[in-house]
Chain A
Amino acid sequence: MTGVAIVGAAECDLGVTGKSILGLQTQAVSRALADAGLSLADVDGIASTSVSRFSVTQLAEHFGIQPRWSDSTFAGGSVYEMFVARAAQAIEAGQATVVVITFASNQRSAASRKLGGVYEPWTPEAQFEEPYDPLFPLSYYAMAAQSYLHRHGATREQLAEVAIAARQWALLNPQAFRYGKGPLSVEDVVGATPISSPLTAADCCLVTDGGGAVVLTSLERARDLRRPPVRVLGYGERTTNNSFTGAEELTVTGAVGSAADAFARAGVGVEDVDVTQVYDSFTITPVLSVEALGFCGPGEALAMISDGRTRPGGSLPLNTSGGGLSYCHPGQYGVLLLVEAVRQLRGECGARQVPDAEIALAHGTGGILSTHATVVLGRDR
């Protein structure tokens, strides 16, 4: 348990916005602070990655803040869960009192996403991997999926359930990119354009603009603010590999360790979790995460979810926003896992609300199954 709470949460505009990154950041931060009933003058800590090489420096000046604490750790999309841990530590240590964690991207409007990724020429990967033309990060997840299906005797058709369930949730979320676009079938997913086998276009997350922000402060102060505090109960992280070859085994991820640490710190177990948000860059990603988090054993996830339990109304509500697959994926999706977890715990989710959710889990995955960060959140009781 920690003595820190999330007191504000908001999305910026999502989808195709035509806006600048700083314009979207301004929305995210302003909306999250308004949600918390705080102002820029209250903020003395900033964590972000998304603007430039000097992201926090850029944002501090943009918002007229001289932070006492900042963090721009770069670990891909999971870093927003890592930031919660670092912000909680900073607040508990007295280094900061109000921290804003914010991300925004205009990658769809700016057409800035590259299928082959970006290799820095001084890295070993630029010598030993880039010449083989991997799709980055897609081909890594494709090989993980291939390995998973082979090792566990599961089928390509079973994997489609991840995308189908995500779409079911998105149909309940007016903010979702695929809202109103109808349900998906197994045939829709398996028969979509092949990209990097066994994955098709329907196994891959969206490429959209978007982002969001969360505001953290001490639990004591949180209890005087306008929204019900969402407590940071626990957190954990692992960093496992940078390259396509650094991990010995593709199907067992660092989430095993990050989740164990997070649950131990929170003093709760996986059986206590009411609603789960996990990074779904590709359909295989939540499969590996759900197993690593302990919802089932290795190789059991696809059989487990085949009964629809991760869909709306099911016993394991997963990615209730519609996820990166059907709601929004702005490149680093981790902050939106937190926004949805907070909203579920506050009971603000309307048609997709999970009844009486008291404990939420947000789990981020960054890079090519490189970084893994778990946050356990709970209602203040």
Chain B
Amino acid sequence: MSDPNSTFVPGPAAPADDLSETWWAAASGHRLTVETCSCGHRQHPPRGVCTACSSTASLAPGEVSGRATVDSYTVVHRAPRPDVDVPYVLARVRLAEGPVLLTRLVGGLDWTIGDAVSVAWADLGDGRALPYFIRSTEI
């Protein structure tokens, strides 16, 4: 039987802005980053101010491993817009480095909280790309 959840076709994404342009620049090259402060704090989405130490000068995009675990997920059966296929799997994943992302899980509908996943990329068609996650192949 074919997988009803074999691809992620992203919906429209709002344009990058001054806070997010470096994140999108990395994502366009399929590199996943989170805003990282010299104090050690990592946060997403980018804010331009460290919520741990208040610094505005010590932040830079920090590349992360792309490894994560499923924090929670939901199988969506009702389309929020006409041109999206259901069912699909929406999830929160916790990066190995800490921050939580909202994303899609691709590859079947049978998921469990705590599953290991790794990043994959969906091109937006405007030069940008968005991360989604697939079952991790590492043992």
Residues of A with Cβ closer than 8 Å to B?
114-117, 119, 121-124, 126-136, 139, 142-144, 146-147, 150, 193-199, 243-245, 248, 250
Partner of A128, one of B45, B81, B113: B45
Partner of A248, one of B10, B17, B91, B100: B100
Complex Cα distance, B79 from A134, in Å, reads 9
Q: Measured between C-beta atoms, what is the minimum distance from A371 to chain B in Å? A: 19
On whether A139 and B16 interact (CB within 8 A), knowing A132-B11, A243-B102, A245-B102, the answer reads no
Partner of A129, one of B16, B17, B102, B113: B102
Complex Cα distance, B132 from A128, in Å, reads 11
Q: Measured between C-beta atoms, what is the minimum distance from A340 to chain B in Å? A: 30
**Known A123-B14, A133-B76; 10 more pairs at CB < 8 Å:** A116-B80, A129-B102, A133-B88, A143-B92, A150-B72, A195-B77, A197-B75, A197-B77, A198-B74, A245-B44
Question: Please, which residues of chain A bring their CB within 8 A of the CB of B103?
Answer: 132
Q: Is the pair A144, B72 in contact by a Cβ cutoff of 8 Å?
A: yes
On whether A139 and B90 interact (CB within 8 A), knowing A124-B20, A146-B72, A248-B100, the answer reads yes
- B22-81 interface with A by 8 A CB criterion: 24, 44-45, 71-81
Closest CB pairs A-B (n = 4): A116-B80, A126-B14, A142-B74, A143-B72
Q: Measured between C-beta atoms, what is the minimum distance from B72 to chain A in Å? A: 4
Complex Cα distance, B12 from A115, in Å, reads 16
- Provide the B101-139 mask, 1 if CB < 8 A to any CB of A, else 0: 111100000001100000000001000001010000000
Complex Cα distance, B19 from A122, in Å, reads 11
Q: Is the pair B74, A131 in contact by a Cβ cutoff of 8 Å?
A: no
Q: Which residue of B lies closest to A147 (CB)?
A: B72
Residues of B with Cβ closer than 8 Å to A?
10-17, 19-20, 24, 44-45, 71-81, 84, 88, 90-92, 99-104, 112-113, 124, 130, 132
Complex Cα distance, B101 from A124, in Å, reads 12
Q: Measured between C-beta atoms, what is the minimum distance from A193 to chain B in Å? A: 8
Question: Please, which residues of chain A bring their CB within 8 A of the CB of B81?
Answer: 116, 133
On whether A147 and B71 interact (CB within 8 A), knowing A124-B19, A244-B92, A244-B102, the answer reads yes
Q: Is the pair B14, A133 in contact by a Cβ cutoff of 8 Å?
A: no
Interface of B is mostly: loop
13 contacts between A and B (CB under 8 A): A116-B81, A121-B14, A127-B13, A131-B12, A131-B13, A132-B10, A144-B72, A147-B113, A196-B76, A196-B77, A197-B75, A197-B76, A243-B45
Partner of B10, one of A115, A131, A199, A243: A131
Question: Please, which residues of chain A bring their CB within 8 A of the CB of B74?
Answer: 139, 142-143, 146, 196-199
Q: Is the pair B100, A115 in contact by a Cβ cutoff of 8 Å?
A: no
Complex Cα distance, B112 from A199, in Å, reads 16
Partner of A135, one of B10, B45, B76: B76
Partner of B12, one of A130, A194, A250: A130
Complex Cα distance, B46 from A146, in Å, reads 28
Question: Please, which residues of chain B bring their CB within 8 A of the CB of A136?
Answer: 80
Q: Which residue of B lies closest to A150 (CB)?
A: B113
Complex Cα distance, B113 from A243, in Å, reads 20
Q: Is the pair A134, B80 in contact by a Cβ cutoff of 8 Å?
A: yes
Q: Is the pair B72, A250 in contact by a Cβ cutoff of 8 Å?
A: yes
Complex Cα distance, B89 from A76, in Å, reads 26
Question: Please, which residues of chain A bring their CB within 8 A of the CB of B16?
Answer: 127
Complex Cα distance, B16 from A121, in Å, reads 10
Question: Please, which residues of chain B bring their CB within 8 A of the CB of A119?
Answer: 14
On whether A245 and B14 interact (CB within 8 A), knowing A115-B80, A196-B76, the answer reads no
Complex Cα distance, B71 from A147, in Å, reads 8
Partner of A194, one of B14, B77, B92, B113: B77
Q: Which residue of A lies closest to B89 (CB)?
A: A197
Q: Measured between C-beta atoms, what is the minimum distance from A198 to chain B in Å? A: 8
Question: Please, which residues of chain B bring their CB within 8 A of the CB of A197?
Answer: 74-77
